[in-house]
Amino acid sequence: MRRIKVNVAAAVLALGLGACDEATGPDGTATMQVAARGDTPPSASRAGGEAPAYSQAIAGAEGTVDFRARVYVRTDAGAWLELTGRSAREATGDAAGRAKAELVSRARVEATHYDRVRVVFEDVDADVRGGIFIGAGLLTGAVTVDLRGDGQTVVERSVDVDVSAGGSARLLIDLNADAWLNQASAQSRTVSETAFESAVRVTASSR
């Protein structure tokens, strides 16, 4: 499995975000977790009597997705806080979405409102065991997201989450694997950075 070292560009990005492990503020602190899953669970597509999504019903990916990433959140004031302790964290998700979300990291954060999430992926690799048809053939084996020359791809999403002092919040990274694996090149066994970036979902909740 291919592994890409963190380069100078990634280091500059981290410095520019003012990365830190913990944050305090006048309103106190809270805990924020980062979790990840390979795809939306099939049962979620059937909630409320809805039919399953086409990709899950017809050509759902089978296998696993491994990634390394750093995760940041932004306050309304524009301050960025790193949730992954100044280094990329590794996680593995079930491409079919049947497994529970995996805990990626946990950090203390300022009790405030957060409006943006940034995930810097440094490596994304899938081990496909079935369910992906490219052209007339079944695609299996290793598939890699092409991170191009800079060795990373950045996914940013808007969120709307208030975190109270002493409370907790959770960011869920949904890799939506079926969406981008179905766009893989059978010849190069890669997926474009654009296809991956557009597919990934991030949601936030608090309690």
pLDDT tens digits for range 37-91: 999 987 655 444 444 443 333 447 899 999 999 999 999 999 999 999 999 999 9
Q: Choose among 112, 85, 105: nearest CA to 173.
A: 105
| DSSP state letter for 10 | H
**For residue range 144-172, what is the model confidence (pLDDT) as tens digits?**
999 988 899 999 999 999 999 999 999 99
**For residue range 83-137, what is the model confidence (pLDDT) as tens digits?**
999 999 999 999 999 999 999 999 999 999 999 999 999 999 999 998 888 876 8
How many percent of the chain have pLDDT more than 90? 69
Contacts (Cβ under 8 Å, ≥6 apart) of 144: 2, 124, 125, 126, 189, 190, 191
| DSSP state letter for 17 | T
The one-letter amino acid at 30: A
With cut-offs at 50, 70 and 90, classify the pLDDT of residue 24. low
The pLDDT of residue 56: 38
The pLDDT of residue 149: 80
Average pLDDT score, the chain: 84
